[in-house]
Amino acid sequence: MDRLKGKVAVVTGAGKGIGRAIAQVFAQEGAKVVVADVDQEAGQKTADAIQQQGGMAAFVDADVSTTKGTEAMARATVDQYGQIDILCANAGIFPETPLEEMTEDDWDRVLDINLKGVFLSVKACLPYLKEQETGRVLVTSSITGNRTGISGLAHYAASKGGINGFIKTAAMELAKYNITVNGVEPGNILTEGMDEQLGPDYIKAQEEVIPMGKLGEPEDIAYAMLFLATEEAKYITGQTIIVDGGQILPESKFAVS
């Protein structure tokens, strides 16, 4: 406990799913957490739940796809808590659209939130991270686009592939400021969005090809992020951790016993 005591962490897309779990775990470890999300109701619920559990959290309405939104997020964090030590750029969407039906607007919306949102969030928080003379940038990537592909998610896959490239180069640029940049590549994680958007048939089919026989939980990603946020990971940068229950290991579904 208290591995993040005295730290201030910004978590984007923290209203639901993986982001909410990251915010809760960071708060449990002593961080003051800014819950950043465009969904005001969900974001406030996350902040309220953390406070009810004895943690410190504040909700900030933040559109990560715009400079205005990310700069306001960073300023609000510093106004509330005086500093930024950790940025977890987690916000993302995964609308399913076949390539032949995908419009330019469909493509732009996913890339604006998933990929440009990472860049803008880092850029907005960087001046404050530098002031601490140490910092952690954490990014939620995916096995999709980096290790695997899924029909209907070409825009999502492209955004996550881009994130991994961003992580490597940003890590090189920010190392001189003692800021590490790392990511986690989730496999299939059972979030509200997964359940509502893809449904039970998809979930069952995925479970059959995952060696551990089940989807992950949001907390599985949160604890990997926690490690990367702590002093134990101070010499790790430019890396990603795959958290997928072994999903990318089998050659085919017939290889899963």
Which one is catalytic: 81, 128, 156, 235?
156
On whether the CB atoms of residues 17 and 218 are closer than 8 A, the answer is yes
CA distance 134 to 141: 23
Told to judge if 177 belongs to the known catalytic residues of this protein, a careful annotator would answer no
Q: What SS3 class is residue 47?
A: helix
- Cα 14 from chain centroid (whole Å): 9
44 contact partners, CB below 8 Å, separation of at least 6: 35, 59
Residue 210 DSSP class: S
Neighbours of 28 (CB within 10 A): 19
CA distance 209 to 12: 30
Q: Is 240 exposed, middle or buried (0-12, 13-18, 19+ CB in 10 A)?
A: buried
User: Hey, what amino acid is at 117?
Assistant: G
- Cα 218 from chain centroid (whole Å): 11
Alpha helices in 135-217 (DSSP H): 154-174, 192-209
Indicate which residues carry an active-site annotation.
156
